[in-house]
Structure 1
Amino acid sequence: MRQFTPPPHALAHGSGPTWAVGDLLVHRVDETELPPPTGRWLLPEATPAVVGDAPWLRPDFATSDGVLRLASHSFAVEANGLRVLVDTGIGNGKTRADPAWDHLDTPYLRRLTAAGFAPESVDLVILTHLHTDHVGWNTRESGGSWIPAFPRARYLVARTEWDYWAGVTMDEPRQQMFRDSVHPVRDAGLLDLVDVPDAGSEVAPGIRLRPTPGHTPGQIAVELRSGARSAVITGDCVHHPVQLHRPGITSCVDIDPARAVRSRRELIASLAGTESLLLGSHFPPPTAGLVTAEAGTYRLLPVPGVSR
């Protein structure tokens, strides 16, 4: 596997925080903050009163008046010579039903390159699930067409996830998302479907997919391991740290809310009291932390990344 050396200027131009997980280095690549109404829409049970019951959520994860903070970002991982990207955000210039996501224009690719992951250097893209805000930078516009943004990468999706969307009737906005962000990858022969059993599936040394169904039928979390150190990237099994305080809070877009709650409880319980880092796919800075039990529920002890 080839090695890639970032250009000398890379880290001076918007490189985000990083976390060391043993010999693995995990970078947060920012796309955009999500607007304040997002939390009320996405997690309607996370009322200001609920947020107020968990003072540790403020000020990083919620405002003083109980408004949730959420963000869109990817995680880029250097793992045993493999250059891996977990989820690809909303994407630029795409027609979306949500006005906050419609024809977005962010320097995401410049930030990715600044972190040392030029698009042509990425080997593997792992998609935790096939929702609009996790697949957008799969593709970029070129000459009026959508082409794979990472032309040398394999894009991995759980087979259960693919089979579900292939078998349901989708509304027009979701069909549009598949047309511009998923089907071009498939048509280019870059899409790989992965069977993910209950015990998980190792897709590369140090990278294991863990099934966390409920939000979508084939959603996965991504476990990173190097030596005695480990981390888990949540996908949308956990949208926000308030769901550690109240794991029963569901998302308005969960396909199977009861199963989503079970997956979340199982994931959180497996991490509680350990040194395994939790990396939230929509957690605002500081984004990562350790899960600890508190008063019959859980909280996140933040572990800020290192800015370079």
Structure 2
Amino acid sequence: MHASATRLPSAAAWTVGDITVRRIDEIALPPQTGPWLLPGATPEVVSQLPWLKPDFADETNVLRLASHSFALTVDGMRVLIDTGIGNAKTRANPAWHDLDTDYLTRLAAIGFTPESVDLVLLTHLHTDHVGWNTRAEGGSWVPTFPNARYLTTRTEWDFWSTTELDEPRTQMFRDSIHPIRDAGLLDVVDVSAEGTTVAPGLTLLPTPGHTPGQVAVRIDSRGATALVTGDCVHHPVQLADDALGSCVDIDPEQATATRRALLASLAGTDTLVLGSHFPAPTAGHVVTDGDAYRFLPYGM
């Protein structure tokens, strides 16, 4: 395989050519997350997939999920892919409400101080992917990464800016999106069907369905490739049945079609897959398993 992995004191890390990708942990999501998020992945379904244990499901056949970001340096730029849930945010989901994590300390431990981050790629504008866009300061929300450009897709921005939002999502836009827009840090980019390169070795690939403008992020360096899934694939259980959708997919039929095409393109390749909600070991490869797929963790 092209990609190699090593364990660092502060973060899991994988090398993709000349690029090192590090996982920055925020929190392990509580056990009730799986049954809510992927209701079709019942304990009975999970019990038929022994390869999910112990990393991706527990002994009671409940899925494990996590919240994290990926950090990497390309062409001298420090890049963050997604920003998690965030601290001290008012959230309807109790697992996300008023968190107090050491996320920024973990970033700083790898040299990514807030002021040093150059680019933030947002796979989509859901609450658990944009939270650390901002932090509390003096009774208001300010950009966490004041020198960064924050990128979202035009399709994503246009959808949310013209959709009537419920109060929880309105609150999220008020505390995590509008402050970066008002500071002039938010860039809206057009993404072609074939993908759009936004930095050397970083390409946004359209993966619509979960949200209209969601993207996966492909990382290319010296012939090696990795892919950060976003929420096109929430959990490895979806490799066994690509029709297992999320309860918050905006277009479930499109989400399934997108996931099916993406998995087919990844199966049997050397592309290192980095799941945006996959718990440790997080990284691995898509391999064929009968008429479906399974996730083979890196190094196995």
TM-score, normalised with respect to structure 1: 0.94
Unaligned runs of 5+ in 1: 1-10
Secondary structure (helix, strand or coil) at the match of 1:284 reads: coil
More divergent stretch after superposition (46-55 vs 225-234):
46-55
Is 1:90 the counterpart of 2:90 in the alignment? no
Is 1:137 the counterpart of 2:149 in the alignment? no
Unaligned runs of 5+ in 2: 1-6
Q: Hey, what does 1:72 align to over in structure 2?
A: 67
Separation in 2, partners of 1:209, 1:30: 22
Picking from 7, 10, 13, the partner of 1:15 is: 10
Is 1:263 the counterpart of 2:291 in the alignment? no
CA RMSD of aligned residues (A): 1.3
Q: What amino acid is aligned across from residue 298 of structure 2 in structure 1? A: V
Secondary structure (helix, strand or coil) at the match of 1:133 reads: helix
Is 1:276 the counterpart of 2:271 in the alignment? yes
Is 1:294 the counterpart of 2:282 in the alignment? no
Separation in 1, partners of 2:299, 2:274: 10
Is 1:176 the counterpart of 2:171 in the alignment? yes
Matches within 5 A, 1:1-308: 15-303=10-298
Pairwise CA distance, 1:269:
0.9
Retained in 2: the 8 A contact 1:215–1:236?
A: yes
Decide whether aligned partners of structure 1 residues 202 and 19 sit closer, same or farther in structure 2, where only a CA change above 3 A counts.
same
Retained in 2: the 8 A contact 1:286–1:304?
A: no
Secondary structure (helix, strand or coil) at the match of 2:220 reads: strand
Secondary structure (helix, strand or coil) at the match of 1:110 reads: helix
Separation in 2, partners of 1:268, 1:122: 31
Separation in 2, partners of 1:297, 1:228: 27
Q: What amino acid is aligned across from residue 23 of structure 1 in structure 2? A: D
Separation in 1, partners of 2:109, 2:293: 35
Retained in 2: the 8 A contact 1:288–1:304?
A: no
How many pairs align?
A: 294
Pairwise CA distance, 1:153:
0.3
The 4+ residue runs of structure 1 with deviation greater than 6 A are none
Q: What amino acid is aligned across from residue 166 of structure 1 in structure 2? A: S
Q: What amino acid is aligned across from residue 59 of structure 1 in structure 2? A: P
Pairwise CA distance, 1:304:
6.1
Separation in 2, partners of 1:185, 1:284: 29
Retained in 2: the 8 A contact 1:287–1:304?
A: no
Separation in 1, partners of 2:110, 2:279: 18
Once the two structures are superposed, residues 15-55 of structure 1 have per-residue CA deviations (whole angstroms, 9 ceiling, x without a partner) of 11100000000000000000000000000000111112211
Secondary structure (helix, strand or coil) at the match of 2:265 reads: helix
Pairwise CA distance, 1:116:
1.8
Pairwise CA distance, 1:65:
1.6
Separation in 1, partners of 2:299, 2:62: 21
TM-score, normalised with respect to structure 2: 0.96
Retained in 2: the 8 A contact 1:89–1:137?
A: yes
Q: Hey, what does 2:4 align to over in structure 1?
A: none
Q: Hey, what does 1:6 align to over in structure 2?
A: none
Retained in 2: the 8 A contact 1:156–1:191?
A: yes
Identity %: 65
Pairwise CA distance, 1:78:
1.2
Separation in 2, partners of 1:115, 1:41: 34
